Chains A and B, each alone.
Chain A
Amino acid sequence: MLAVIKSYGLEGIDGYPIDIEVDVQGGVPGFDIVGLAGTSVKEARNRVRSAIKNSSYDFMPRKVTVNLAPADTEKEGSAFDLPIAVGFLAATEQIPSEGLTDYIIIGELSLDGGIRRVNGILPLLISALQRGYKRFIVPYDNAKEASYIVGAKVFAMKTLCDVCSFLSGIMDAKPVEYSKYESSPAADKYGIDMADIKGQSAAKRALEIAVAGGHNILLCGPPGAGKTMLAKCVPTIMPDMTFGEAIETTKIHSVAGRTDGERGMITSRPFRAPHHTASLFSLIGGGAHSKPGEVSLAHNGVLFLDEMPEYNKKTLETLRQPLEDGTVTVTRVTRTVEYPASFMLVASMNPCPCGHDGSRFKECTCSPIAKMKYKARISGPLLDRIDIYVDVDGVDYSELRVSAPAETSADIKKRVEAAREIQRERFKGKGFYTNSRMTNAQIKKYCALDAASEKLLETAFTRFKLSARGLTRIIKTARTIADLRGAIDIQANDIAEAIQYRVRGVES
């Protein structure tokens, strides 16, 4: 007897339907899974066998062949256990086979017949829904994640027995109720606030601009000046995630198996701070199953590289492409996957090996060659992609001990949100939200410059030998500064501020 069950597989953050054909015949008993099934899929036969027996169904000794169609794409993971088990029971007529294909069935089985959670439910549901599938049977532990998808009828089940009684019509079940999306402010999650940082008004201003326009920023200063603390505050001044952004980010985290079980969704902006020993693949993504890397996990949030020169040079250079495109393409022999990687890069570094070059407080003890070598660890092309460069020097004692409260993250966030709102309105329907992602044509359209600004830009261009990219980046930053003022036109002042953030990085 033959039974066909519908299931769904993932490739990156997109899915494709899989037909699971279960054929049960006489002959030497055995259990074979074909259709480019990976090790974790093949192991299903042991789980399925035990789960069926322990659910008090009969696992009769038969020659069982399971085919996962399309048979030419590699399949991984344990999410096919449940459909295979249901298929076996239908093929052996232990449950009726009518109406089985109305459902997409997904789930991992435990040996006792329970259903375990699987990764990637959210992207899978979204993809399946787009293809017109409406009814789903998923693990109970994935219910929360699935509850945000409007239009899908999702039945969350705890055991194989429940699924069978439900499919046979013995047991009635209600679909998962929709949850309303609520963003959670990053300030609560990370427990840090801009008000905790004394002084550093220039750096705070630079961060505000960077966040408002989604620009990359490099903080440079002696050890202990507060670079890391400033960087950690970045998510607290970022606007709350919209539903669309949250879905995008959760999709990636779901594939990586990192969703918040309780909320089921990533509701506050991610702040990823990989250690400087991070490998290339952990950063960019890859491995045998083309998993997303840190750049993608930081999508719609912050990627923080503390002590940037300490990172492996090759690793750093790989950031160039995602920084430019906002996506990263992971290519392996078996599959090519594209992950979104639109993050804000926040990097910190010391100005020299001893860390005190240019500081007001301490003498630098490094030789000129040592300084040069240190700076050369970060390549020109990478620096070129960082719009804002800011010096973070130590703070005076009087400033440090002052008790007057500094501006809180919430205050700054309000201004950032206002600026972002202007941008959202401007780039409506274009697929991105911030000034930093404007194309050249859009710069022409939205960033008209007056004569004074034009003159200033020209002087800077020749004097500092800027690149073409450098020039457009200055204009983008100036656009953000103007947006923060709430102004429609860019003024010479805005250009001047943008230039000084830029040239310090390229110059020094």
Chain B
Amino acid sequence: MPHSPADGILAERKAAEYLEQKGYRILGKNVNYPRIGELDIVCEDRGTIVFVEVRYRKDKELGDPLESITKPKMRKLIKAASMYLAGNRLEDMPARFDVVSVTDLGIGHIENAFYGDFI
């Protein structure tokens, strides 16, 4: 069954709840830079800015959610993240990219999913 937009929104909400439970402070959701990219969740974990990409899959039959992040997607996220840091005067803060995968089976969290030089 194809995903509806509602599924994605629900997944992002679930992911944010999960992160808050973990003690992360949510700084922003769906931060959008037109033609550059969108950051699903921006939060802070003990002094580190964390950019979270949320992936939703009904089940793992179509592959792991992490596999669906392609290099062009990473590039977009990296650019958007740079914009975010610069726009909020946070250039000197340590940052990282995480992926939270939401499936019907549960929530998975990958810290440091990729680095800025992976492009």
A residues at B contact (CB < 8 Å): 25-32, 45, 60-63
- Cβ of A63: which chain B residues have Cβ within 8 Å of it? 116
Say whether, besides A45-B117, A61-B112, A63-B116, A28 and B95 are in contact (CB < 8 Å): yes
- Give bound CA distance, A60 to B46, whole Å: 13
B92 with A29: CB separation less than 8 A: no
A29 with B91: CB separation less than 8 A: no
- Cβ of B117: which chain A residues have Cβ within 8 Å of it? 30-32, 45
Q: B24-64: contact bitstring with A at CB < 8 Å (1 yes, 0 no)? A: 00000000000000000000000010000000000000000
- CB contact between A26 and one of B82, B94, B115 (< 8 Å): that residue: B94
- Cβ of A62: which chain B residues have Cβ within 8 Å of it? 94
- Cβ of B96: which chain A residues have Cβ within 8 Å of it? 29, 61
- Give bound CA distance, A10 to B81, whole Å: 40
- Give bound CA distance, A29 to B95, whole Å: 6
- Cβ of A60: which chain B residues have Cβ within 8 Å of it? 94
- Give bound CA distance, A27 to B85, whole Å: 7
- Cβ of A32: which chain B residues have Cβ within 8 Å of it? 117
- Cβ of B93: which chain A residues have Cβ within 8 Å of it? 26-27
- Give bound CA distance, A160 to B81, whole Å: 33
The interface residues of chain B, by DSSP majority, are classed as mixed
- Give bound CA distance, A45 to B117, whole Å: 9
Shortest beta-carbon contacts, A-B, top 5:
A30-B116, A61-B96, A30-B117, A26-B94, A28-B116
B residues at A contact (CB < 8 Å): 48, 78, 81-82, 85, 91-97, 112, 115-117
Provide a sorted-by-A list of 23 A–B residue pairs whose CB atoms are within 8 angstroms.
A26-B94, A27-B91, A27-B93, A27-B94, A27-B95, A28-B78, A28-B82, A28-B85, A28-B95, A28-B116, A29-B94, A29-B95, A29-B96, A29-B97, A29-B115, A30-B116, A31-B116, A31-B117, A61-B95, A61-B96, A61-B115, A62-B94, A63-B116
A31 with B92: CB separation less than 8 A: no
- Give bound CA distance, A61 to B85, whole Å: 15
- Give bound CA distance, A62 to B112, whole Å: 10
A94 CB to closest chain B CB (Å) equals 15
- Give bound CA distance, A383 to B78, whole Å: 66
Say whether, besides A45-B117, A63-B116, A28 and B81 are in contact (CB < 8 Å): yes
- Give bound CA distance, A63 to B78, whole Å: 12
A27 CB to closest chain B CB (Å) equals 6
- Cβ of B82: which chain A residues have Cβ within 8 Å of it? 27-28
Closest A residue to B92 using CB positions: A26
A81 CB to closest chain B CB (Å) equals 16
A341 CB to closest chain B CB (Å) equals 42
- Give bound CA distance, A32 to B117, whole Å: 7
Of A28, A30, A60, most buried by chain B (CB within 10 Å of CB) is A28
- Cβ of B85: which chain A residues have Cβ within 8 Å of it? 27-28
Closest A residue to B80 using CB positions: A28
- Cβ of A29: which chain B residues have Cβ within 8 Å of it? 94-97, 112, 115-116
Closest A residue to B96 using CB positions: A61
A27 with B115: CB separation less than 8 A: no
- Give bound CA distance, A45 to B118, whole Å: 11
- Cβ of B115: which chain A residues have Cβ within 8 Å of it? 29-31, 61
Closest B residue to A27 using CB positions: B91
Closest A residue to B114 using CB positions: A29
A34 CB to closest chain B CB (Å) equals 12
- Give bound CA distance, A30 to B94, whole Å: 11
Of B95, B97, B112, B116, most buried by chain A (CB within 10 Å of CB) is B116
- Give bound CA distance, A30 to B95, whole Å: 10
User: Given known contacts A28-B85, A31-B115, what 13 new A-B pairs fall within 8 Å (CB)?
Assistant: A26-B95, A27-B85, A27-B93, A27-B95, A28-B81, A28-B82, A28-B116, A29-B94, A29-B97, A30-B116, A31-B117, A45-B117, A62-B94
- Give bound CA distance, A157 to B117, whole Å: 30
- Give bound CA distance, A30 to B77, whole Å: 13
- Give bound CA distance, A32 to B82, whole Å: 16
